Amino acid sequence: MRQLHPEAIAAIQSKALFSKTEEQLLSKVGSTSQPTLETFQDLLHRHPDAFYLARTAKALQAHWQLMKQYYLLEDQTVQPLPKGDQVLNFSDAEDLIDDSKLKDMRDEVLEHELTVADRRQKREIRQLEQELHKWQVLVDSITGMSSPDFDNQTLAVLRGRMVRYLMRSREITLGRATKDNQIDVDLSLEGPAWKISRKQGVIKLKNNGDFFIANEGRRPIYIDGRPVLCGSKWRLSNNSVVEIASLRFVFLINQDLIALIRAEAAKITPQ
């Protein structure tokens, strides 16, 4: 270990798993609060023996956001699983299957449909490859759990497990892209999106620097566990958890850029 380059040592240490003690301390930071890097820096100073020596305020903030996204904070609750005979696990279902009724029958209609579907998917893949340059402007793959660095064009980031969407205009549409429906944020890039409407919602930045999300789809959008029904809107804060049909995202605001926008708006607004 001593023979490794200091940067290599730091990279290895930064990947150390969080202990139960560390997560217990992080879970005490409220989900409705707006903690800054100074909040987590103060946490490091107050508990130097509890945290691993390579921990930084940014690393604590990123792990706290992950815990909030999966409802692991002290003030968050998760609905319990149903109990009783209606709960069927995989083993029980497997025992109910009658092997004698499982026959390997050739279904020509099904095979034809699968062939057609395969051709359609290949055609869509080719179309996406041709439009790849468009997606690269808005979608950035996540390579680590570190907090994203904002540039001077990114107003906010909608971060999921697989991808993060960069908001670079004052209004963006969210939903499921199809051949006949092009939107700004295609949620199917994050995961299964067949339950999501083609135009599920809109995120807008007001002149005063506040972000609002409006639900235009059939299914509710959950913001920090609160349902936003069709036709309604809700204010988005920094670190808000946005849940759309089992897909979860964290909404991160470029505080520096928004502060500049608010300052400019204050100059224009007559006193």
Element (H, E) at 63: helix 57-69
User: CA 63, 68, 69 angle in degrees (round to 5)?
Assistant: 95
Distance, CA of 261 to CA of 206 (rounded, Å): 10
CA atoms within 13 A on the CB side of 264: 9
pTM for the structure as a whole: 0.55
Q: Give 193-202 pLDDT, tens digit per residue.
A: 888 888 999 9
Distance, CA of 180 to CA of 191 (rounded, Å): 20
Confidence bin at 148 (pLDDT 50/70/90):
low
pLDDT value of position 137: 41
Phi, psi at 181, each rounded to 5°: -140, 105
Distance, CA of 29 to CA of 162 (rounded, Å): 25
Q: What amino acid is encoded at 32 in this protein?
A: T
Distance, CA of 172 to CA of 174 (rounded, Å): 7
Confidence bin at 191 (pLDDT 50/70/90):
confident
At 221 the three-state DSSP class reads strand
Confidence bin at 145 (pLDDT 50/70/90):
very low
The pairing of beta strand 156-159 with beta strand 171-175: unpaired
